[in-house]
Amino acid sequence: MQLLLAADLHGQWSVFDWLLTVAHERRVDAMVLAGDLLGCPDGFSTIEKAQRHDADRANVLLGEAGIPVFYVMGNDDLIELSASSNQVQSIHGRQVRWDRFTFVGYQFSLPFMGGTFEKPESAIEGDLAAMSIDFDTQTIFVSHSPVFGILDPGFGDTQIGSHALRRFLDARPYLAHVHGHSHEGFGRSGKHFNVASAGRRRAMLLNLDTMKHQVLNAEQHTIED
């Protein structure tokens, strides 16, 4: 089973188009998008209206992918994607079973830009404690935020990951943690995969059977780890 993983697309349609091309050419089984999907195009009276335009366009594109798309929103997204296709599903606060795997999502990150999908650490901890979902070794956890201290560099020497998320995952079995948010933290560390594309053509392929991954760039050169 092969996943195509990406985050932080920020409404860049060339990146969306590229991901769909990769999905077709590589015959991936599903796509995972870990937040910051929408941009802020010009010509609209409010940011929310601009993002609704982006969301409508993204819904059409992702609905035509022909494969399951599992997503969460991110701190730069001010509205929900609200996909209408059965193949395109938000997994925030839910578990979705697919083949022998389970996808679980959480989309809030720490206060950063004053966005809709931001919460303080205490609120994130409360949300996670209330999540009555069983984790096992076939669980793929998808969040926008990284955990604190792993693939989470911010500005300067800061780290922007969540302590609550780290405690939550450290206490549970899981197969992989997919996230974005930290553009400079792109990469893999053990079971953690930061797939922030930073609005450019950058993503990962992950084989769930072998847990080997490949990094893809705009030229589709790959680096296998």
Q: Where are the domains of the chain?
A: 2-224
Give CB contacts under 8 A, 24+ apart, made by 130-137: 131/93, 131/104, 131/106, 133/94, 133/95, 133/104, 134/95, 135/104, 135/172, 135/173, 135/174, 136/102, 136/173, 136/174, 137/173, 137/174, 137/175
pLDDT attached to residue 124? 98
Residue 127 DSSP SS3: helix
pLDDT attached to residue 197? 97
Residue 31 DSSP SS3: strand
pLDDT band for position 41 (50/70/90)? confident
User: How open is the CA angle 211-8-79, to the nearest 5 degrees?
Assistant: 120
pLDDT band for position 142 (50/70/90)? very high
pLDDT attached to residue 224? 54
pLDDT band for position 84 (50/70/90)? confident
pLDDT attached to residue 115? 87
The pLDDT of residue 221 is above 60: no
Q: Which carries the bigger pLDDT value, residue 71 or residue 223? A: 71
The whole-number average pLDDT for the span 142-148 is: 98
Q: How far is 48 from 133, CA to CA, in rounded Å?
A: 32
pLDDT attached to residue 219? 59
Q: How far is 12 from 38, CA to CA, in rounded Å?
A: 8
The pLDDT of residue 162 is above 70: yes
pLDDT attached to residue 60? 93
Candidate CATH numbers 3.60.21.10, 1.10.238.10, 3.40.50.970, 3.40.50.300; the one for domain 2-224: 3.60.21.10
DSSP H helical segments within the chain, as ranges? 13-25, 47-63, 121-129, 163-170
Could you tell me which of 68, 78, 98, 97 has the C-alpha nearest to residue 35? 78
The pLDDT of residue 101 is above 90: yes
Contacts of 70 (CB under 8 A, 6+ apart): 30, 31, 32, 33, 89, 91, 96, 98, 103, 105, 142
pLDDT attached to residue 225? 55
Contacts of 24 (CB under 8 A, 6+ apart): 66
Residue 27, burial from CB neighbour count under 10 angstroms (0-12, 13-18, 19+): exposed
The whole-number average pLDDT for the span 110-131 is: 95
pLDDT attached to residue 215? 97
Task: Please state, for a pLDDT cut of 70, what percent of the chain lies above it.
Answer: 97
